Structure formats: C-alpha cells, structure tokens
C-alpha cells in the first residue's frame, strides 16, 4: 500500500524471536552507556578485553555447570563443519578466565582488572527485559582474594549506575560459602526441603537433586514460601568465609554504601563462591535485576589453572536503557552532520562531491545529496539530516567558483567563494 509519505510492506524475514535491532534512534542510549562504562573502567583501572562470540561448549558446561538453567536449557549449541561442539557465549566470565589462562595473564601483577561489552545468548522465554540475545557490560578482577576487592567491585557497580544518572536501585549481598563449608549448607537445605519435594514446582523437583542452592531462587509462590523459612547460608560459613564476609561488609560501610544482606540471594551460575551480590531497580516491575556478580575463587582451577581467586560483575545493557527511558534521564544527542551539500546539474554534482571530500578532510561532517532529485527534494533531505548549514551549488556557482551557504535555522543565504567555505563555516570569514 502506498501512502503519501509512508510505504508499508511485509518483509520476508524478521529478526529471530527474542532478538532486536538497535535502530539509529536508540543508538544515543547505547553510546551513552558505552562511554560511561569506558570512563568508569578508566577511573578504576580496568582494561577492555574482547573474546569470541562462540567458545568450546565445555567451557560453559563445566563452569556455569550442568544443573543450571543456562547450561541445561538455554545455551545455543552447534557443531561446526569439523564436528567441534561450540556454544554462543551465554555469559562473559568463563571466556575471560579462559583468555587469562591461555595468554598467561597470571604473569602480570595481580589482580588483573578487565572489562567487556559483549552479547550474551540464552534461549529464554522472551518478555520485557528478557531477550535471547542481550548485551552485557561486565568487569572482572582476577587473581586476588582480598575482600577489599569484592568491595571495590560492588562499589564500582553502584558508581556505574549513579554515573548513568539512574536512581532507585538497591544493593543486596550474601555469602554462599566455599567448597569447605558449602556442602554442610547444601545438606541442611536438602533436609529442609525433603519433606516437601512433592509440593515443589517441576523445575524445583529437578533442582532438589541437581542444584539445591537454586531452590532459593524460584519465583513460584508455593516454592517461595519454603525458601523463606530455609536455613541461611551465612549460618553455615567456615571461619575463613565468615571473616571474609564480615570484612566485605566493613569495607562497604566504610565506603558509605548502603546494602542489605539477602539470605536467599544465590546466582544463576554455579561457579560463585563466598560473596554474591545483585543490584535491583525498585522502580521496574518484572526483570528488575540490573546487574549482579560475585566471587568465583575456584573457576580458574576448573579450567586447568592454578588457584586464582577472582571477583566480577555484569549488567544487562537493554535493562539499563529501559531504566534510562523510564526515568527520563537526559541523554546527549548523537552528533549530526554539520553540512548538507545539494547541487543542480551534472557539473555542479562533480563540484559538490569534490567539496564534500575536501570538507571531510578538514573534519567537517558532510552529508551529500545523491541522484537526480529536484532541489526542493534535496532541501527536504537537508532538513531531515539535522545539518545546521546547507551548501547549494548550481551552474552559476560552478562558473563563479562560489557556493550558496544557507543557514538552516534562520533561512539566510549568502554567496561564499568556494575556497573560503571552511572559514565561513567556522564563522571566521563571513564575507
Ligand atoms: P547474569 O549473567 O545472569 O548474572 O546476568 C547479568 C545481568 O544481565 C542481569 O542482571 C540482567 O541485567 C542481564 N540479563 C541477564 N539475562 C538477560 C536476558 N535474557 N535479557 C536481558 N538482560 C539479561
């Protein structure tokens, strides 16, 4: 169907379910988030790392671990032409640990502080704030067991959301112990749940045998009731873990951060030890987790490395963008073209092309007209381009080696020698 300005038709293909295009209108938010992320990381001494979009499947099945939703149900798994089993990265931490070991980053002074911005792929049920491909900003401090580093990462996450201009979020922390003390806690948890297994949701019945910690995380009301009265992990911590958790809290308090200890906080990935934390927006309804992280002291060993205690954080960029919009945070507009160049006739077109090239080499952003549109059509294009000035070249201008310079706001036009366009645009030579 053809309308005066809008043409509608039905495309043969759409973006896969749970994925979305980030159109130019949205890009201002993304650039804003990425710039704030880069600035934050510079302030805290974190350097960027980029890892492949896909990895050896085992990297995730052994670390995120079987028995977690991500590995059991959500990974995008495929075999390449050589028969190797690969997975699209569902998260950013395991690939970074793999890179740390592969490139000998353990030889650098520790901790090694790294950050990433990357896609994550999970075959989840799409809904607002939950996609099958989403993007994460995350940072990791590798190779140091100091609880001050847990506090640094948590404070940095808090600072990140503040620097975006967001408010109304809270920080929850917990400790889920280590391989020494966690088995006792898991045992207590199983004892608590075992008389009620039949009344658990089907997912939790599986969790009961495969990953009991995740029972605490179930959102189903009947399961939540049992979770509320479940034993608390902090009551089962060994001395080292208890001291560590106390120190983290002491440091956070000293840094002036307000936080709550949430006893039911466990994370969706299996590699966490000791500190876990989450930052939640209190303003958004469902999918309110803005980001989360924790310590993963045993992960490097699972990947064949030496003991490398580490801590990290990741946050979903789509959810940040959603919060920025909901809270009407003012985002700087993306820069537009400085100048639109219009022409009439073939000779003028050639001059227009040469001038555009020259201006761009002087760092002036130029959008050029193309084709054989009427001057009126080109001026419409100039208007929508957002450029402050339009340069018009016709036959007379070619002959006189001049251009017409139009101020798009005031509509004023003047003739300018072609050689003086740069100066005229800078307002130095307005003759
Ligand atoms: P996780 O790796 O599960 O700890 O997730 C880290 C953060 O990524 C979460 O707090 C969310 O902000 C975001 N996130 C996780 N899964 C999704 C998803 N399916 N769609 C959009 N954002 C997500």
Contact 366, 337 (CB under 8 A): yes
Residues 92 and 24 in one domain: yes
Neighbour tally for 172: CB within 10 Å: 18
Compute, in angstroms, the gap from residue 92 CA to the centroid of ligand 1: 11
Residues 277 and 171 in one domain: yes
What is the rounded CA–CA span in Å between residue 334 and residue 12? Answer: 31
Tens of pLDDT, residues 224-233: 889 999 999 9
CA 353 to chain centre: 39
Q: pLDDT band at 306, cuts 50/70/90?
A: very high
CB 423 within 8 A of CB 413: no
What pLDDT digit, counting tens, does each position of 102-111 carry?
Answer: 999 999 999 9
C-alpha separations of 292 from 123, 222, 248, 335 in Å: 20, 25, 16, 33
Average pLDDT over residues 192-200: 92
Give the mutation target among 134, 275, 284, 288 for probing the ligand 1 site: most ligand atoms within 8 A of CB. 134
Is 279 within a domain? yes
* Residue 299, CA atoms < 13 Å, CB-side half-sphere: 34
Q: List the CATH number of the domain containing 380.
A: 3.40.50.800
Residues 367/340, Cβ–Cβ less than 8 Å:
yes
Best CA proximity match to 281, nearest among 245, 349, 329: 329
Q: Give the side-chain half-sphere CA count within 13 A for 9.
A: 5
Same-domain check for residues 258 and 402:
no
Q: How far is the CA of 105 from the centre of ligand 1 (A)?
A: 27
What is residue 217's predicted lDDT score, i.e. its pLDDT? 86
The pLDDT value recorded for residue 72 is: 77
Instruction: Return the SS3 of 77.
Output: strand
Q: What is the pLDDT of residue 427?
A: 65
Higher pLDDT: 429 or 236? It is 236
Asked whether residue 254 is assigned to any structural domain, the reply reads: yes
Q: Which of 93, 120, 121 to mutate to test ligand 1, by most ligand atoms within 8 A of the CB atom?
A: 120
Minimal-distance CA residue to ligand 1 atom 22: 316
Which residues have any ligand 1 atom within 6 Å of their CB? 91, 122, 124, 129-131, 134, 136, 268, 289-292, 314-316, 318-319
**Which of 104, 142, 116, 80 minimizes the C-alpha distance to 299?**
142
Ligand 1 midpoint to CA 268 (Å): 10
Q: Write the CATH number for 173.
A: 3.30.930.10
Last residue of a domain, one of 303, 326, 349: 326
**Host domain of residue 349:** 339-423
Give the count of beta carbons closer than 10 Å to the beta carbon of residue 410: 7
Last residue of a domain, one of 326, 350, 370: 326
Q: Judge whether 361 lies within some domain.
A: yes
Q: Point out the ligand 1 atom lying closest to the alpha carbon of residue 122.
A: 19
Quote the CA–CA distance of 356 and 360 in Å, as a whole number: 6
pLDDT for the residue numbered 411: 95
Whether residue 274 contacts residue 147, with contact meaning beta carbons closer than 8 Å, is answered with: no
Confidence of residue 3 (pLDDT cuts 50, 70, 90): very low
Tell me, yes or no, whether 215 lies in a domain.
no
292 and 417 assigned to the same domain: no
For residue 42, being part of any structural domain is answered with yes
Return all residues near 372 (Cβ < 8 A) that are at least 6 apart.
none
Stretch 230-256: mean pLDDT: 97
What are the pLDDT digits (tens) for 39-81? Answer: 999 999 999 999 999 999 999 988 877 667 787 789 999 999 9
3-state DSSP assignment of residue 31: helix
Residue nearest to atom 12 of ligand 1 (CA): 316
> How many structural domains does the chain have?
2
């Amino acid at each position: 169907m053809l309308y005066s300005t809008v043409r509608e038709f039905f495309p043969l293909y759409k973006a896969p379910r749970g994925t979305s295009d980030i159109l130019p209108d949205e890009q201002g938010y993304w650039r804003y988030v990425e710039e704030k992320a880069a600035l934050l990381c510079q302030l805290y001494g974190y350097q960027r790392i980029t890892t492949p979009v896909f990895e050896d499947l085992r990297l995730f099945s052994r670390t995120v671990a079987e028995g977690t939703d991500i590995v059991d149900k959500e990974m995008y798994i495929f075999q390449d032409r050589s028969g190797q089993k690969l997975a699209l990265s569902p998260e950013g931490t395991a690939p970074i640990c793999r890179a740390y070991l592969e490139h000998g980053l353990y030889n650098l002074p520790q901790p090694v502080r790294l950050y990433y911005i990357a896609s994550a792929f999970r075959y989840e049920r799409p809904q607002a704030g939950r996609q099958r491909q989403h993007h994460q900003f995350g940072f990791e401090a590798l190779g140091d067991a100091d609880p001050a580093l847990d506090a640094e990462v948590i404070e940095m996450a808090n600072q990140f959301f503040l620097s975006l201009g967001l408010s109304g979020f809270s920080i929850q922390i917990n400790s889920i112990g280590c391989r020494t003390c966690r088995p006792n806690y898991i045992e207590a948890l199983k004892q608590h749940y075992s008389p009620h297994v039949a009344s658990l949701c089907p997912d939790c019945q599986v969790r009961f045998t495969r990953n009991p910690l995740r029972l605490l995380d179930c959102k189903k009301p009947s399961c939540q009731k049992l979770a509320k009265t479940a034993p608390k992990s902090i009551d089962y911590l060994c001395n080292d873990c208890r001291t560590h958790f106390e120190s983290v809290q002491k440091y956070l308090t000293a840094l002036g951060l307000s936080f709550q200890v949430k006893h039911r906080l466990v994370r969706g990935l299996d590699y966490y030890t000791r500190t876990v934390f989450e930052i939640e927006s209190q303003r958004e309804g469902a999918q309110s987790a803005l980001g989360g992280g924790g310590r993963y002291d045993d992960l490097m060993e699972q990947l064949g490395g030496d003991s490398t205690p580490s801590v990290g954080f990741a946050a979903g960029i789509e959810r940040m963008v959603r919060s920025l919009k909901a809270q009407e945070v003012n985002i700087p507009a993306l820069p537009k073209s400085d100048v639109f160049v219009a022409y009439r006739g073939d000779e003028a077109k050639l001059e227009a092309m040469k001038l555009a090239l020259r201006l761009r080499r002087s760092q002036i952003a130029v959008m050029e007209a193309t084709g054989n549109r009427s001057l009126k059509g080109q001026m419409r294009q100039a208007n929508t381009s957002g450029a402050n000035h339009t340069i018009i070249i016709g036959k007379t201008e070619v002959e006189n080696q001049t251009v017409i310079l139009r101020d798009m706001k005031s509509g004023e036009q003047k003739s300018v020698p072609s050689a003086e366009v740069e100066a005229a645009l800078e307002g130095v030579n307005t003759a």
